[in-house]
């Protein structure tokens, strides 16, 4: 990124203090925690790492710190979708459509969080739980 786009590299110890639009944890979980949240100078946390929040309460802490969080299991669902394409018998176009729908799902989560006065992490959990219950009910009906 430094060579190709002129980005400024930082030592690992300084990444949480960098002023940026987005902090994207993409390789290591648990990096959003009590020590790092106060240091973040970003608008959004959205990355591809699993379990970015060390504890679920850190979703609330991000919101209190004024940072929008794109819940990890939503933002990086494309990997799961791609990985299960063959297993579920989806064609490539169907899989691409599901990956593109992640954007709309995130917007739905952000709107639900705003409407309910909660955090995106809690709204995402509620949406996931609702979808799981709907799938169980549909399966039981068959």
pLDDT tens for 31-48 read 999 999 999 999 999 999
pTM: 0.87
CA distance 127 to 122: 9
Where does residue 6 fall: left (phi above 0), alpha (psi -120 to 50 degrees), or beta otherwise? Answer: left
pLDDT tens for 65-113 read 999 999 999 999 998 888 888 788 888 898 899 999 999 999 999 999 9
CATH architecture of residue range(s) 1-69:
3-Layer(aba) Sandwich (3.40)
Q: Is the pLDDT of residue 19 over 90?
A: yes
pLDDT band of 54, cuts 50, 70, 90: very high
For the chain, the domains span 1-69, 71-142
Q: Tally Cβ neighbours within 10 Å of residue 30.
A: 15
pLDDT of residue 88: 85
CA distance 120 to 137: 25
To the nearest whole number, what is the mean pLDDT of the chain?
94
pLDDT tens for 100-123 read 999 999 999 999 999 999 999 999
Classify residue 59 by its DSSP letter: H
């Amino acid at each position: 990124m430094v060579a190709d786009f002129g980005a400024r590299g930082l030592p690992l110890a300084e990444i949480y203090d960098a002023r940026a639009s987005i902090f994207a944890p993409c390789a290591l979980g648990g990096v959003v925690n009590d020590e790092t949240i106060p240091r973040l100078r970003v608008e959004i946390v959205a990355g591809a790492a699993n379990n970015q929040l060390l504890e679920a309460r850190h979703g609330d802490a991000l919101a209190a710190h004024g940072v929008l969080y794109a819940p990890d299991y939503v933002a990086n669902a494309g990997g799961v979708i791609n990985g299960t394409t063959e297993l579920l018998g989806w064609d490539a176009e169907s899989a691409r459509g599901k990956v593109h729908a992640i954007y709309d799902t995130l917007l739905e989560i952000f709107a639900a969080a705003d409407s309910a006065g909660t955090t995106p992490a809690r709204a995402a959990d509620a949406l996931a739980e609702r979808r799981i219950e709907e799938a169980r009910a549909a399966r039981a009906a068959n």
